[in-house]
């Protein structure tokens, strides 16, 4: 998968298990950029297990310039009941700062879109932090439309455990039981 950009020839390829240290480095760089370094729990062992184990949870595309990784995109399959077809969720996309503005991000997102198209996905979706103006402008330029009528929810850690085990919430009542 070779593409040309303002930076010259950019090659993209699916990551392999040998790329785990590079992928983890990109994850940490993204967390730094998003001011979320404290939230990174990923390790090389976890990435090996969940990206390349018997049941891979996601895939990674690397962008390379002269054999050096300069960006990555992580994505996984979803399913839309309304569309009745699978979709692709773009979890992360990052281009190293010194390679931004050269078309590498466009090449990466185009590669993820190509995967979605080849797999007959009904949609390609992702989220972006509301303060990340450069990313928002880029997404608008490529034709993406914000889904402002949707709010993302997340449950993790102790709240997830309580939900699974049915333990009592803060008010001392069972989850799901009304007063």
Work out the mean pLDDT of the chain and round it to a whole number.
91
pLDDT attached to residue 25: 98
Count of the separate structural domains present in the chain: 1
Residue 152 lies inside a defined structural domain of this protein: yes
Is 33 designated active site? no
Taking each helix axis from N to C terminus, what angle separates 44-52 and 20-33, rounded to the nearest 10 degrees? Answer: 110
Residue 150 lies inside a defined structural domain of this protein: yes
Given a cut of 80, whether residue 166 has pLDDT beyond it is: yes
Domain of 93, CATH number, reads 3.40.630.30
Whether this model's pTM surpasses 0.85: yes
Residue 175 lies inside a defined structural domain of this protein: no
Given a cut of 70, whether residue 85 has pLDDT beyond it is: yes
Print burial letters for 126-159: b (CB count within 10 Å at least 16), e (below 16): bebeeeeeebeebbeeeeeeeeeeeeeeeeeeee
- Among candidate residues 72, 75, 89, 139, the one labeled active-site is 139
Residue 179 lies inside a defined structural domain of this protein: no
State the pLDDT confidence band at 3, using cuts at 50, 70 and 90: low
Residues 135/107, Cβ–Cβ less than 8 Å:
no
pLDDT attached to residue 167: 78
Given a cut of 60, whether residue 179 has pLDDT beyond it is: no
Q: What is the mean pLDDT of residues 7-20?
A: 92
Residue 170 lies inside a defined structural domain of this protein: no
State the pLDDT confidence band at 6, using cuts at 50, 70 and 90: low
Q: Which domain holds residue 128?
A: 2-165
pLDDT tens column, 35-84: 999 999 999 999 999 999 999 999 999 999 999 999 999 999 999 999 99
């Amino acid at each position: 998968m070779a593409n040309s950009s303002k930076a010259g020839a950019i090659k993209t390829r699916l990551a392999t298990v040998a790329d785990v240290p590079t992928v983890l480095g990109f994850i940490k760089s993204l967390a730094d950029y998003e001011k979320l370094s404290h939230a990174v729990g990923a390790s090389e062992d976890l990435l090996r297990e969940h990206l390349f184990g018997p049941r891979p949870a996601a895939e990674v595309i690397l962008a390379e310039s002269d054999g050096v990784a300069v960006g990555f995109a992580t994505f996984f399959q979803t399913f839309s009941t309304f569309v009745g077809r699978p979709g692709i969720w773009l979890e992360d996309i990052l281009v190293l700062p010194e390679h931004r503005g050269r078309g590498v991000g466009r090449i990466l997102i185009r590669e993820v879109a190509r995967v979605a198209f080849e797999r007959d996905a009904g949609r390609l979706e992702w989220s972006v932090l509301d303060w990340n103006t450069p990313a928002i402008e880029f997404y608008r330029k490529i034709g993406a439309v914000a889904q402002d009528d949707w709010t993302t929810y997340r449950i993790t850690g102790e709240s997830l455990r309580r939900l699974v085990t049915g333990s009592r919430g803060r008010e001392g009542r069972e989850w799901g039981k009304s007063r």
